[in-house]
Amino acid sequence: MLDIVKSKALAREKYSEIRKNICKSKDKGSKDEAIVKNLKAAVNIDFYNKIFVYLPMKYEPDITGFIKYALSAGKKVAAPVCDKRSCDMEFYLFDNIESLDSGRFGIKEPKAETKKLVYMQKQDVCIVPGIAFDENGSRLGYGKGFYDRYFSKVKHSVLKVGVCYQDCFSKKLPCDEFDQKTDIVITESNINKTCKLL
């Protein structure tokens, strides 16, 4: 277990630096646009009841274009709110990306006075952020376990779509039995169906 923890820490450091360099480059905007285009191609929003998204931080792929696309189509869209003390996460509906508040981690989140708690159910889809993903759908997050803990409690089968830059898409990442896998990984270059779907 200690070897896995160390391997994850080293991989996290490696891919965080790669991602930071991408986000500081002039290519970030075009890469984000390509990711949004691939998201729209991979996720038929008409099929899904609710769309669970992340609200991008500084060094994450910016999927704002996809979020606006889903909202403009009248879909129910939910974003996470994280509790730093308990490391728990819940999702809340929102209908306007311009009216979000800044949360505890400097991440945008639905306003307290208007947010409505929702749960993942059959025929929902979740767009999952990560520092890196691999061909098996394994995800390298920030090490707090928010998404792994949340998905372990979801009773229904939902489509999990990972998002990262192509340079952060690996053949194999270190993982353990607690890591929740994604079904598809979207990069600016490809729509990758993972081994979980094959």
Chain segment 45-92, per-residue pLDDT in tens: 999 999 999 999 989 999 999 999 999 999 999 999 888 778 789 999
Specify whether the CB–CB gap between 57 and 19 falls below 8 A.
Answer: no
Q: According to the model, what pLDDT value does residue 24 have?
A: 96
pTM over 0.85: yes
Provide mean pLDDT across the span 139-152.
92
CB half-sphere exposure, 118, CA atoms < 13 A = 23
Residue 136 or residue 86, greater confidence = 136
Q: Cβ of 11: how many Cβ atoms within 10 Å? A: 18
Average pLDDT taken over every residue of the chain: 92
128: phi then psi, degrees, rounded to nearest 5: -110, 125
Beta strands in the chain (DSSP E): 50-52, 76-83, 88-94, 101-102, 108-109, 116-118, 125-129, 132-134, 139-140, 159-163, 169-170, 184-186, 191-193
